[in-house]
Copies of this chain bind each other. A is one copy, B any other.
Amino acid sequence: MATTQPAAVDRPPTIHDIAALCGVAASTVSRALSTPDRVNIRTRQRIEAAAAQLHYIPNSQAKALSSGRTGAVGVLVPDITNPFYFDLIRGTQLQLKAAGYTQLLVDTEESDEVEASTMEQLRKSADGIVVAASRLTDEALLAAAAKMPMVTINRDVPGVPAVLIDTPSATSQALDHLISLGHTRIAYMAGPPTSQSSERRWTALSVAAEERGVEVRRLGPFAPKTQSGAAAADAAVHSGVTACIAFNDLIAIGMLQRLRERGIRVPEDMSIVGCDDIFGADFCNPPLSTMASPIEQAGRVAVSMLLAQLNPLAGGGTRSRSVMPTHLTVRASTGPAPLS
C-alpha cells in the first residue's frame, strides 16, 4: 500500500507536517498562512502547495488559544421557536459566514439568568455577541458590554451599540390606520414586562394617541405566544374596545383564533393589528394586518456592526446605532369600526 504520497497518517495534518514536508520551520508555515507578506513568495508557494496537498485545515481551537480570537460570534435569542427570530438568525448566519465566522446560537429561554450565564460562558469562546431582545437590566447589559464586544437588537441602552427596529413609529401608523377606519376605543395588548420593546411601543402609542385625541388603553401583560392570545382576546372583548394593537403577531394570531371560537368576527366586530409580520401572518384567518420590518437585514446589520467593532482597522466609522424602518402592512384583520 506504499504510495509516493507523504505518509498519510490518519491524524489530520498540522503545520508541523507541512513544515517537515517543505523543510522549513513550523513558524514559517504559520506566517506563510496568516501573514503572507512576512514570507518569501517562493517559500510561501511551496508551503501553500504542501498545505493543499495534505488537505490541511487549521485547528480553530489552537488558533483561538494562541491568538486570543476564536472566530466565533454568539447569538442570543430569547426563544428559538418564535418565528420572529427565524429571519433574524438567518441574517446573522449569512453575514457571519460571509465573514468567515462561526455562529454560536443560544436560546436563552426568556430568562435573564440563562442569558447572563451564557454571556459569561461565551466570554471565553466567542469574540463577540449579538443579543436580541435582552431580558437583562440596563446596568447588567452595560457591564456585559464592557467585558466583550456586543451589539443588541431591539434594546436601547446608551453606550451599547444597537440595531433598533422602529416599531414605535409604526405604531402611530397603525393608530392612524385604525382611526381612519373610525375606531375610537382601542387597546394595546402588552408583551412581557421585561421586554423593552413592549414598553417603547406603548410609550410611542400613548403619545400618538394623545396627539390625536383618542384614548388607547393598555391590557396585559401577555406572554409572546399564541396561547396567550386567548386571554388577550377575552380581555379585549371585555374591555369593550373595537380594535387592538398587539405586542406581536403571536399574540395577534392567538387572538384571531380565540375570537373565531367565540363567534366574534374579525374585522367586522373587532380589528386586530399585529407586529413583526412573522411567518404565518399572511395565511392566518383572516390574514393579519401587521407592522413589518426587514428583520433579516437587521440581523445582518447587527453582525456588520459587531465585526466593525472587532476589526477596527477596516475603516468605516463604527456606527453605534442603526434603526430599521417599519411599515404597516394592511391585510384583512382590520376594517371599519362597527356601528355601535
Contacts and interface: CB of A to CB of B under 8 A. Distances in A.
Interface of A: 12, 57, 59-62, 64-65, 70, 80-81, 83, 86-87, 89-90, 93, 102-107, 120-121, 123-125, 226, 253, 256-257, 279-280, 282-286
Contacts of A89: 80
A148 to B, nearest CB: 11
A57 B124 contact: yes
A280 B254 CA distance: 11
Given A70-B61, A284-B283, A93 B121 contact: no
A58 to B, nearest CB: 8
**Which 8 pairs between the two chains have the least Cβ-Cβ distance?**
A285-B285, A280-B280, A105-B105, A61-B64, A81-B86, A61-B65, A283-B284, A60-B125
A124 B93 contact: no
11 contacts: A60-B121, A61-B61, A62-B65, A80-B89, A83-B83, A86-B86, A93-B107, A102-B125, A253-B283, A279-B280, A283-B285
Q: Could you say how many copies of this chain the assembly holds?
A: 2
Contacts of A64: 61
A120 B61 contact: no
Given A61-B65, A93-B107, 15 more contacts: A57-B120, A60-B121, A60-B124, A60-B125, A61-B124, A62-B65, A80-B89, A83-B279, A90-B107, A93-B106, A102-B125, A279-B280, A283-B284, A283-B285, A285-B286
Contacts of A93: 80, 106-107
A59 B285 contact: no
Nearest to A64: B61
B124 A59 contact: yes
Contacts of A105: 103, 105
A12 B284 contact: no
A172 to B, nearest CB: 28
A276 to B, nearest CB: 14
A15 to B, nearest CB: 13
Given A65-B61, A65-B65, A256-B283, A80 B70 contact: no
A257 B279 CA distance: 14
Contacts of A256: 283
Contacts of A103: 104-106
